[in-house]
A and B are shown apart, each in its own frame.
Chain A
Amino acid sequence: MYEKIFEKYSPEKENLIYILHEIQDNHPQQYVSEDAVTAVSEYLKIPRAHIYGVLTFYTMFSTKPRGKNVIRLCESPPCFLKGSEKVLRKLRDVLDVKVGETTPDGLFTLELCACLGVCGNAPVMMINEDVYGNLTDTKVEEIIKKIKEA
């Protein structure tokens, strides 16, 4: 099932991060499963331990199933100064999950991340590929509501 992705990349270790990105992006639960790791290991002829080492090193990768929408709230100093802690409380409230958890309906996973480079609009979060800035309590509620309704 990963052949289509493998076809695009020659079997060299330098393509590992690309392949993992693509596998994760194409999985409805946005993670890299054990099966996928085995398949990549066979294709690139590198040990599974190496792949897990890479997967757990970079924050963008997950080895656990996640929600349809992965929320990544920036907690770096510029966002912190502009109230990211308050936004985090609101997100935990609205979603009723802790950091790292997924809502029971499988819609949202709440994560924290380091600087996203959009500090002019702090506090900032990313939901999947989209950036949301100048967050306030009301804005957070609206954004979550909009995604739920979509």
Chain B
Amino acid sequence: MKFYRSHILIGVDDSSLAAGVKEIEAKLREELDKHNLSDEINILETGSFGYFGTGVSMMIYPEQTTYANIKEEDIAEIVEEHFLKGRKVSRLILNTNLLRKYDFNYKRRIVLKNSGKIDPENIEEYIGIGGYEAWEKALISMDSDKIISEVKASGLRGRGGAGFPTGLKWSFTAPIDAPQKLFVINADEGEPGTFKDRLIMEGDPHLLLEGLMIGSYAVGATKAYIYIRGEYKLCIQRLEKAIAQAKEYGILGKNIFGSGFDLDIMIKIGAGAYVCGEETALIESMEGNRGEPRNKPPFPGVQGAWKLPTVVNNVETIANVPSIIKNGASWFAEHGVEGCSGTKVYTMMGDVNFPGLCEVDMGTPLRTIIDQYSGGMKDDKKFKGALVGGAAGVFLSDKLLDVKMDYNSLQDYAAVLGSGAILVMNEKVDMVDMLWSVIRFFRHESCGKCSPCSRGNEILYKLITSIRKGEGKEEDLEQMIEIASVMKDTSFCPLGQSLIMPVKSAIENFREDFLAKMK
């Protein structure tokens, strides 16, 4: 093994790729070579560091210097100054005043604990930090009942939006006697503003695979699928690589660890349809059909893809499983609040200093998430509201800044946690515009299967468009709420049922914005 005096971690994800990270990395290798430093300094590609809007960033260990917004022409200077002369290039150091306000929270992280620290394309790095120990423990020393009761005891709930208890979901499928059962990971992340699953898959693909293996074994599924949206090219590449490596190491395949258990994991690629995030629509799409939702019951856990019992879980949910098995349910339950244990990954966007991700304990109030984990409001502007939970979410006003963010507490305020997307808006933002944008999104994504949703969205869009143009009347607001509530009661799937949340909350919490358009 080689010893290096320095390690350079470069965050490679969709955002930095857009900023030209590959060209910069090549230039860096070239410069290090030129100065005969390649044997002393190691370059590692890792996942996202968690903050965005800073172009290409690199973190240098052991001194822990972070350079941001690096351009190709800066590389020669970094190599000469930092690595040859030992002087930091201060103009490129990430704004320390801002960085001081940004808390990575690595100590409490569960699903993103390795992201930004290990090379996601190297299974040995994952194994080196204790990866696949939980899988081995589950397979060798635990049976289905034991795993499921551990997951139940941990209090883990689905992170895709609905918050259904994961252990309970598994317990419906495990006892079914069927020739073939399936386990499906829902990685069709399409909720606007949500990219947590992308960061998990890009930053730590083996963690997802390990959770999937444990889940499959627990319910008795010998075939597993990861249904991933077609736009997530880097995730697809990294997962394919991870699966191939796991097979090569005998962690996946036939008779794993001599246990007699076989498992095969395959990737299914979507083609761009928001509704496919709904589990039965996802199953339709997997079978090669239009992704229109199915009637429930039968629930997928009993009769899913190709009529086989199929468990469908979100990426973030499953990424929690290895830690639960390894450290035990009570360790997990120490995170979060009662009734809602663990952490939650939020994707922060809009008018904050560090748009990006954060993983914090369930129950952390919105104010803390903004101030401590997102660098505070951008340009010190005043907070006006936040759209929490994606498009199928709720417009929260400043009155709810100190409410605990977890599935139960938010429910008391008719709000939801949803997928964990938080779009922060400052005082300048007009909520009529924002609601218009949300409704336009649903109007486009309504799949057309049922009329309440396709028709309802059309009418809502007409109403909000006329209000936005200044042609609306006050009674239109009541009509919009009424239409959305009818859609809630009569739509076939959660897509149409969700409109009530943004519509009602925007109109009720920010009525003055709407009335201002009617003067």
* Range class of the B interface residue count: 35 or more
Q: Decide yes or no whether B189 CB sits under 8 A from chain A.
A: yes
Report the stretch among B24-32, B154-162, B239-247, B440-448 that lies at the interface.
B440-448
Tell me which of B198, B270, B288, B349 contacts A122 (CB under 8 A): B349
Q: Decide yes or no whether A147 CB sits under 8 A from chain B.
A: no
**Cα–Cα distance between A129 and B18 once the two chains are bound (Å):** 11
> A1-28 toward B: CB 8 Å interface, digit per residue (1/0)?
0000000000011111110110000000
Tell me which of A21, A59, A119 contacts B355 (CB under 8 A): A119
Query: In whole Å, how far is A16's beta carbon from the nearest beta carbon of chain B?
Result: 4
Q: Decide yes or no whether A115 CB sits under 8 A from chain B.
A: yes
Would B192 and A115 count as touching, CB distance under 8 A?
Answer: yes
**Cα–Cα distance between A12 and B232 once the two chains are bound (Å):** 24
Residues from chain A with a CB closer than 8 A to the CB of B287 are 13-14
Q: Decide yes or no whether B381 CB sits under 8 A from chain A.
A: no
Q: How many residues of A contact B (CB 8 A)?
A: 42
Would A17 and B53 count as touching, CB distance under 8 A?
Answer: no
Tell me which of A50, A81, A124 contacts B423 (CB under 8 A): A81
Residues from chain A with a CB closer than 8 A to the CB of B17 are 130-131
Query: In whole Å, how far is B14's beta carbon from the nearest beta carbon of chain A?
Result: 5
Residues from chain A with a CB closer than 8 A to the CB of B190 are 114-115, 117
The main secondary structure of chain A at its interface with chain B is mixed
Residues from chain B with a CB closer than 8 A to the CB of A61 are 271-272
> B174-213 toward A: CB 8 Å interface, digit per residue (1/0)?
0000000000000001111111001000000000000000
Q: Decide yes or no whether A60 CB sits under 8 A from chain B.
A: yes
- Indicate whether A80 sits within 8 Å of B433 (C-beta atoms), given known contacts A14-B287, A60-B272, A122-B349: yes
Residues from chain B with a CB closer than 8 A to the CB of A136 are none
Would B290 and A78 count as touching, CB distance under 8 A?
Answer: no
> B250-282 toward A: CB 8 Å interface, digit per residue (1/0)?
000000000000000000011111100000000
Residues from chain A with a CB closer than 8 A to the CB of B391 are 76-77
- Indicate whether A119 sits within 8 Å of B347 (C-beta atoms), given known contacts A54-B290, A58-B273, A80-B437: yes
Query: In whole Å, how far is A8's beta carbon from the nearest beta carbon of chain B?
Result: 14
Q: Decide yes or no whether B230 CB sits under 8 A from chain A.
A: yes
Q: Which of B39-67 contact A (CB under 8 A)?
A: 51-53
Q: Decide yes or no whether B291 CB sits under 8 A from chain A.
A: yes
Query: In whole Å, how far is B307's beta carbon from the nearest beta carbon of chain A?
Result: 13
Which B residues are closer than 8 A to A by beta carbons?
Answer: 14-15, 17-19, 51-53, 189-195, 198, 229-233, 269-274, 285-292, 347, 349-351, 355-357, 387, 391, 421, 423, 425, 429, 433-434, 437-438, 440-441, 444-445, 447
- Sampled A-B contacts (26; CB under 8 Å): A17-B269, A18-B269, A50-B289, A60-B272, A75-B437, A76-B441, A77-B437, A77-B441, A81-B349, A81-B350, A115-B190, A117-B190, A117-B232, A118-B14, A118-B15, A119-B194, A119-B195, A120-B195, A120-B356, A120-B357, A121-B18, A121-B52, A122-B349, A122-B355, A131-B14, A133-B15
10 tightest Cβ-Cβ pairs between the two chains A and B: A120-B52, A58-B271, A76-B192, A16-B288, A117-B195, A60-B272, A13-B288, A59-B272, A115-B192, A80-B437
